[in-house]
Each structure stands twice: as C-alpha cells, then as structure tokens.
Amino acid sequence: MKIERVDLIQLHMPIKQSYETSYGIIEHAEPLILKFYTEDFTVFTECSAGSVRGFSYETMGTALEVLRQNIIPAVMGREISDPLEFHQLCKGFRGHPMAKASVENAFWIYKALEKKQSLAELLGNQKDRLIAGAGIGIQSTPEALVKLVDQYLEEGYTKIKVKIKPGQDLKYVAAVRKSHPQIALMVDANNAYSLDDIDTMKALDEFDLLMIEQPLAYDDIYYHAKLQSQLKTPIGLDESINGPYFAQLAIELKACGCINIKQCRVAGLARAREIHDICADAGIGVWCGGMLETGIGRAILLALSGLPNFTYPMDIGASDKYFFQDIVEPEFKLNSDGTLSVPKAPGLGVEVNEEVLDRYTVAREVIRFRHK
Ligand code: MG
C-alpha cells in the first residue's frame, strides 16, 4: 500500500443522549475521519480522540498535530506491505495511540481488500453475530436509571453497563438489580475511587455483577491488585492497559479478572490482538469497549471482537443508540437476539455514505504526497 493522499475530516455529530461519566459529560461526538487514497483503493478509518474528551490525554487537537507532523509523513508515499511495518516506522514517536491506530487500521483494511477478504476474516474472526451492549451514563436518580435500563432491554439489548461515581453508585445499582435480577449487568467507575472506598467496592459484590470496570486510578495496576484480592467480583481493567506489557503486568499481579480491549487505546489492531493472545494464554477473558465510534470505527471493533477469547459481551450498541444517522451503509442494527452482525463484505465491510459524511463535516484538510 502506497498512500498518495490523506484527507483529515473533522466531524461534529449530535448524539441522541448526553453521556455522563465520572470524568465529565459528553454532549456530542467529534470524530476525525481519515480518508486514504492509494492507486487501487480508497480506505476510511476513524480517530475517536475528540469524541470522548477526558478519557485520555489525546484530543482532536493532539491527534491532528501528531498525524500532520509525525505519523503521516512517516508513511506517506512509501510502499508498506504489512501493518506491522507501520509500527516499526512509528517507533520513534512515543504515545498518541489513538492517532497511531487511525493510520495503522488503514493498512489492515487495505490488506483485507487486496486479499478480497473482510477485515474480520483477515483478523481470524469467524463469528457472524456478537452480543451487543448498552452503556448508560450517570443519571440524576436511581428511578431515571431504571427507566433507561427498561428502555434498552425492551429494544432488545441483553447486557447493560452502568457508569458510576462516588455518591451515585450503590443505590443506583441496587435499584437496577431489584427490577432485573437476572440480566448481565456491569459497572464502570472510570477511575473515580481509591482504596479508601473499600467498603463501597465490597458492597458491590452483593449485586452479582459481570465486573467492576477500572475503579481506581487510570494509570494504576498495583492498587487494583490489592483491591481485587478483597473482592469476589472480577475487576475489569480499561484505562490502565496501554499495551501488551501492561496486560502481562496486570495478569502477573492478579490485578483483574478480565481486560477491556479498545484497539485505539493500544495503537491499533496488531497490539489489540497481542493483548488478546496474552490474556487467552493466561485464562483471562477480554471484552470490547468503545469510544463513541461512528459506523467506520464500529465496523473495525466488530471485525476484531469475534476472536475466541472475547468471552464477555461487547460494550458496543447499534448505530441508532448513539446517532440520528450514521455515516455508513448499512447502519448497524440490533438483531432480534440482541446481537450485531459482523460485516462480511471485503475490507471494512460497510460503505461510507459521503453525503451524510459531508453534512457532518466542519473542516477538511488535504495532505498530498510531494513527488520529487
Ligand atoms: Mg471503561
């Protein structure tokens, strides 16, 4: 694959419902779409750094800067035949995994197109459907939360993830459990607690949760190990797992019972697959988390999340859970069994609807290869 031109397309997309987490409120999505032009194919990818502000240090601004200054110049105009070469070329630039993933993903999609395979097939995902999840932000009252849980269950979702923070935790989870004793339920604290909150954490054991996601600091593994040793409920690590090394460390220290794989948090699909394999060898299940992706990012997540050790249901919902209109065709619709279908067409597996893309575009920058 030889990139001749890249368009950096900034979108502003309204979302159906604002989403409150322990670190802030998300009012709209700000995805950055990348369109790669090569001699034979056009490939779309996505960077979600701008959509989930506060999740990490990356923002739309940092992603644009690093893409312009470092990542795109490193790959532009070069013949790159394997996605792993991308990681070699970017070895000199530390950090910025979401910016890196948005370019790394293009090499995988291109390779799939070249082989006339779907991305899922190329990655080794043999599944047709994956259990979807409905994530719910922090609500003003336990009653409001239960009402939303009812709504998503009625729509057909079978797994519910509830965001919590100190003061808006036990009563909320208790209310949901009381209304729905059997559903697959988990909580995500997004780093809002410390070891001083051990009593609250232990009280969560009562609710038969799939897991407690990232209760302690975003960069911590050691204290999670201390906490896990006192809990029955598995801890699921998200923010702290920045790459294969951290997965290995968390497993060795017994800091968690499962790991969230967000391919963008670990610089792309190659490292995501590495973490998947490390966890599989250790008997630790993984699940797929999201970053308010459009259909482009969603297709990439679904392609990855059918690998055998994704033993927990995804956090990923249908397009219409988040957006009034998605930028891909077909949009992702919830099947009657609470699943989403894995795209099976060659490459990304879905088409980008450029008319809708244009409608949400607020800025577009064209970067061309300078022939000597
Ligand atoms: Mg999380």
For 219-234, write each residue's pLDDT tens digit: 999 999 999 999 999 9
Question: Between vectors from CA 57 to CA 24 and to CA 291, what angle results, nearest 5°?
Answer: 60
**Taking residues 267-276, what's their average pLDDT?**
98
Other beta carbons within 10 angstroms of residue 236's beta carbon come to 27
- Asked whether the beta carbons of 342 and 316 are under 8 A apart, the reply is no
CA–CA dist 2, 71 (Å, integer): 14
pLDDT band at 51 (very low <50, low <70, confident <90, very high): confident
**Taking residues 258-268, what's their average pLDDT?**
97
Q: What is the mean pLDDT of the chain?
A: 97
At 370 the pLDDT is 83
Q: How far is the CA of 185 from the centre of ligand 1 (A)?
A: 14
- Read off the pLDDT of residues 289-330 as tens digits, 9 standing for 90 and up: 999 999 999 999 999 999 999 999 999 999 999 999 999 999
Q: How far is the CA of 193 from the centre of ligand 1 (A)?
A: 14
Q: How far is the CA of 111 from the centre of ligand 1 (A)?
A: 30
Q: How far is the CA of 163 from the centre of ligand 1 (A)?
A: 9
| Listed residue (252, 261, 196, 187) closest to 225, CA to CA | 252
At 248 the pLDDT is 98
- Read off the pLDDT of residues 185-244 as tens digits, 9 standing for 90 and up: 999 999 999 999 999 999 999 999 999 999 999 999 999 999 999 999 999 999 999 999
At 220 the pLDDT is 98
- Asked whether the beta carbons of 355 and 328 are under 8 A apart, the reply is no
Residues of the chain with CATH 3.20.20.120: 122-341
Is residue 106 scored above 90 in pLDDT? yes
Active site residues: 163, 262
Which tokens hold the place of 275?
Answer: 């973490």
| Listed residue (49, 19, 20) closest to 34, CA to CA | 49
Residues in Cβ contact with 16 at an 8 Å cutoff, skipping those fewer than 6 apart? 320, 321, 322, 323, 324
Q: How far is the CA of 238 from the centre of ligand 1 (A)?
A: 5
At 259 the pLDDT is 98
Is residue 53 scored above 80 in pLDDT? yes
Three-class SS of the chain: CCCCEEEEEEECEEEEEEEEECCEEEEEECCEEEEEECCCCEEEEEECCCCCCCCCCCCHHHHHHHHHHHHHHHHCCCCCCCHHHHHHHCCCCCCCHHHHHHHHHHHHHHHHHHCCCEHHHHHCCCCCEEECCEEECCCCCHHHHHHHHHHHHHHCCCEEEEECECCECHHHHHHHHHHCCCCEEEEECCCCCCHHHHHHHHHHHHHCCCCEECCCCCCCCHHHHHHHCCCCCCEEECCCCCCHHHHHHHHHCCCCCEEEECHHHHCCHHHHHHHHHHHHHHCCEEEECCCCCCHHHHHHHHHHCCCCCCCCCCCCCCHHHHECCCCEECCCCCCCCCEEECCCCCECCCEECHHHHHHHEEEEEEEECCCC
| Listed residue (335, 282, 277) closest to 131, CA to CA | 335
- The reply to whether the predicted model has a pTM over 0.85 is yes
Residue 340, exposed/middle/buried by CB under 10 A (0-12, 13-18, 19+)?
buried
Q: How far is the CA of 343 from the centre of ligand 1 (A)?
A: 25
Q: Considering the chain, what percentage of its residues have pLDDT values greater than 90?
A: 95
Q: How far is the CA of 176 from the centre of ligand 1 (A)?
A: 19
Q: Considering the chain, what percentage of its residues have pLDDT values greater than 70?
A: 100
At 320 the pLDDT is 96
Residues of the chain with CATH 3.30.390.10: 5-119+351-368
Q: How far is the CA of 289 from the centre of ligand 1 (A)?
A: 7
Q: How far is the CA of 218 from the centre of ligand 1 (A)?
A: 10
- Read off the pLDDT of residues 330-351 as tens digits, 9 standing for 90 and up: 999 999 999 999 999 999 999 9
At 240 the pLDDT is 97
CATH class for the domain made up of 5-119+351-368? alpha beta
| Listed residue (116, 98, 1) closest to 48, CA to CA | 98
Q: Give the residue carrying structure tokens 């509830």.
A: 162
Topology annotation, domain 122-341: TIM Barrel (3.20.20)
